Amino acid sequence: MPIEYHHVDVFADRPYTGNSLAVFVDPPPLSSTQMLTITQELRHFETIFVTETSVRVFDLVEELDFAGHPLLGAAAVLGRPSVTFTLRDGREVEVTVDGSQALLDQGRPSFIPSSPIVSEVAEAMGLHASDLLEPEVISTGLRYLVIPVRGGDALARAQITHPDLTSFLAGLGAQFAYLLDISAVEGRHWNNDGVLEDVATGSAAGCAAAYLLRHGHIAAGEKVSLSQGRFTGRPSTITITAYGTSDSVTRVTVGGNVAKVGTGTLSVAP
């Protein structure tokens, strides 16, 4: 049975920028192995499979509990003013759509108690301790070690140098790392092996918004443009907003433009 899908670019002001995505709407029954195989075949950073009751998101390695740009892209493909998605862990999230703009409410962020040592974090990312402000572990569905850098060329110099970043982050209560240039409001993120750099990380963008409000770098309710993808040749713009106060961040939203690129058909399932 042919399986149709949509190809969209998220956080993109035009096609062939931003973060690419394949969206399967009401596909035939597929196993987890089949969905992962399809994702690896299409080679997008992530692929989302949407049914009436739930969504399942895969990157090139595994299924994810939560992701930002797939939910935004899927909502834009569905074309409804508001869509509520049920994630793998049963949590519900809402995405609103206005034309080509999609906005994801990531809810209240969690600040994970942790005591990262600045010098160790800096060394893991190929930087100097003087390049960093205080890192913090934050989650809106995935736990990120948000690593704020002071600016200058620190973001450009960053690279994963730790031989086992996954274990290092796990020791801090985190799953992934996100570098955030506080002054330029620009981020970078890699897979933990450091091989593949992400174009735009929606799940981390909500954590960045929470960090910026908590530490007084943005005002509550202020819409801020977070840049990412400059170093991959795929410039992306993510709109982030945090609500509440520095003592109590109550909600964060992440949004951006979704550019529709095309459609395709798989003639054969894996």
What residue ranges do the domains of the chain occupy?
Answer: 3-106+257-266, 110-254
Domain 3-106+257-266 and domain 110-254, same fold? Reply is yes
Q: Quote the pLDDT of residue 45.
A: 87
Q: Quote the pLDDT of residue 61.
A: 87
Selected catalytic residue, list 4, 41, 46, 123: 46
Question: What is the pTM (predicted TM-score) of this model?
Answer: 0.91
Q: Quote the pLDDT of residue 152.
A: 85
| pLDDT tens for the chain, residues 1 to 270 | 899 999 999 999 899 999 999 999 999 999 999 999 999 999 998 999 999 878 999 998 899 888 889 999 999 999 999 999 998 888 899 999 999 999 999 999 999 999 899 999 999 999 999 999 999 999 998 999 999 999 889 999 999 999 999 999 999 999 999 999 999 999 999 999 998 899 999 999 999 999 999 999 999 999 999 999 999 999 999 999 999 999 999 999 999 999 999 999 999 999
Q: Quote the pLDDT of residue 96.
A: 96
Report the CATH number of the 3-106+257-266 domain: 3.10.310.10
| 46 is annotated as an active-site residue | yes
**What is the architecture of the domain spanning 110-254?**
Roll (3.10)
Given a contact cutoff of 8 angstroms between Cβ atoms, the answer to whether 215 and 153 are in contact is no
Q: Quote the pLDDT of residue 54.
A: 87
